[in-house]
Amino acid sequence: MIDVVKLNKSFGDHHVLKDISVTIEKGERVVIIGPSGSGKSTFLRCLNCMEDPTSGQVIFEGVNIADLSVNINTYRERIGMVFQHFNLFNNKTVLENIMLSPYLVEKKKMKKAKKDNFFHKLGMKKHPYTENIPSAKDIKAQKKEEAMVLLKRIGLEEKANAYPSTLSGGQKQRIAIIRSLAMHPEVILFDEPTSALDPEMVGEVLELMKELAEENMTMVVVTHEMGFAKEAATRVIFMDDGRMVEENTPAEFFLNPKTDRCKEFLSKVLV
Ligand code: ADP
Ligand code: MG
């Protein structure tokens, strides 16, 4: 699904990602661990082109999305991202947060279909004719319904009209996760999704992530939650100083870390 080929990223003369090559298959749950500053967030941000690689390729379903001539927006819709600090829109309600992107995407499609129909009627046949184009109002109603189904899934339907500032961290992060799901992404990237949460809220977020894992969602997760890695990962990768130093199945990884650097890191986090 994603082939990263010799990915390098520098900020000025700071070489942050060093020749990373890795493949992420559909249905995999890859957990990335490693010390602070090792380049984990930068790697995730390169996967969905929030950062432009300095060199190398990020091939998503056969297309090098690191190529600046590719329309990256269509790919960003297919690659979800969940952040440490939730990144909800604080001036929008929970429902609006979830609906907004799916609504805008559908509306854009609707406008394109209308335009194509117009050219079709002019006899320019290369534009396919679309029957029954929904109105903006229809799209809004449909996206609202879909958002409510997702809110019900996490038991927060009564928060639909609340603003994010009134929610707990655990609720915010679960909403950020279903907001990402509302786009029907093919893969979701998680950057330390539980690191900003009070300890008592970590569990509810990990539970939702484990549910997604059980549904075979493709996930790339940067986390310090070793329990999640053991339970839900298909593969664990240890990053250090801009390189992927070690990777293995969770069972092997935790039982037999190979490098001294990885052993040392694990001895600190597995207390
Ligand atoms: P991690 O997520 O593993 O803690 P990051 O990917 O956030 O690591 O950062 C790796 C290194 O890149 C750090 O030294 C950080 O300071 C640097 N870095 C990250 N983003 C930027 C940026 N936008 N500009 C300059 N340096 C950056
Ligand atoms: Mg980080």
For 115-139, what is each residue's pLDDT tens digit?
Answer: 999 998 888 777 888 999 999 999 9
Q: How far apart are CA 27 and CA 259, in angstroms?
A: 28
Q: Tell me, what's the pLDDT at 67?
A: 84
Which residues neighbour ligand 2 (ion) by CB within 5 Å? 41
Q: Tell me, what's the pLDDT at 74?
A: 82
Mean pLDDT of the chain: 94
Q: How far apart are CA 28 and CA 2, in angstroms?
A: 11
Could you tell me if the CB of 36 is within 6 A of ligand 1?
yes
Instruction: Give 133's Cβ-side CA count (13 Å radius).
Output: 18
Strands 29-33 and 55-60: unpaired
Confidence of residue 75 (pLDDT cuts 50, 70, 90): confident
Whether 271 has a pLDDT exceeding 70, the answer reads no
Q: Specify the residue with its C-alpha closest to ligand 1, atom 16.
A: 37
Q: How much is the average pLDDT of 183-211?
A: 97
Whether 224 has a pLDDT exceeding 70, the answer reads yes
Atom of ligand 1 at shortest range from CA of 239: 3
Could you tell me if the CB of 40 is within 6 A of ligand 1?
yes
Q: Are 162 and 113 in contact (CB under 8 A)?
A: no
Phi, psi of 76 (to 5 degrees): -60, -30
* CA 233 to mean position of chain CA atoms: 16
Whether 149 has a pLDDT exceeding 80, the answer reads yes
Q: Specify the residue with its C-alpha closest to ligand 1, atom 22.
A: 11
Q: How far apart are CA 30 and CA 229, in angstroms?
A: 8
Which of 9, 15, 16 maximizes ligand 1 atoms within 8 Å of its Cβ, making it the mutation to test the pocket?
A: 16
Whether 227 has a pLDDT exceeding 80, the answer reads yes
The backbone region for 55, taken as left when phi is positive above 0, alpha when psi lies in -120 to 50, beta otherwise, is beta
Q: Specify the residue with its C-alpha closest to ligand 1, atom 27.
A: 11
Least confident of 59-63, 96-100, 138-142: 59-63
N- to C-terminal Cα separation, the chain? 35
Provide the b/e sequence for 72-93 (b: ≥16 CB within 10 Å).
beebbbbbbbbbbebebeeeee
Token digits of residue 251: 């069972």
Atom of ligand 1 at shortest range from CA of 12: 25
Tokens 């320019």, residue located: 124
Nearest ligand to residue 38 Cα: 1
Whether 49 has a pLDDT exceeding 90, the answer reads no
Whether 47 has a pLDDT exceeding 80, the answer reads yes
Q: Specify the residue with its C-alpha closest to ligand 1, atom 7.
A: 41
Residue 10's beta-bridge partner residues? Answer: 15
Continuous segment of H or E residues that includes residue 256: none
Q: How far apart are CA 115 and CA 119, in angstroms?
A: 6
Whether 69 has a pLDDT exceeding 90, the answer reads no
Atom of ligand 1 at shortest range from CA of 36: 4
Q: What are the counts of helices (DSSP H) followed by strands (DSSP E) for the chain? A: 9, 10
Could you tell me if the CB of 11 is within 6 A of ligand 1?
yes
Cα 165 to middle of ligand 2, angstroms:
24
Which of 14, 42, 46 maximizes ligand 1 atoms within 8 Å of its Cβ, making it the mutation to test the pocket?
A: 42
Cα 54 to middle of ligand 1, angstroms:
14
Q: How much is the average pLDDT of 61-79?
A: 86
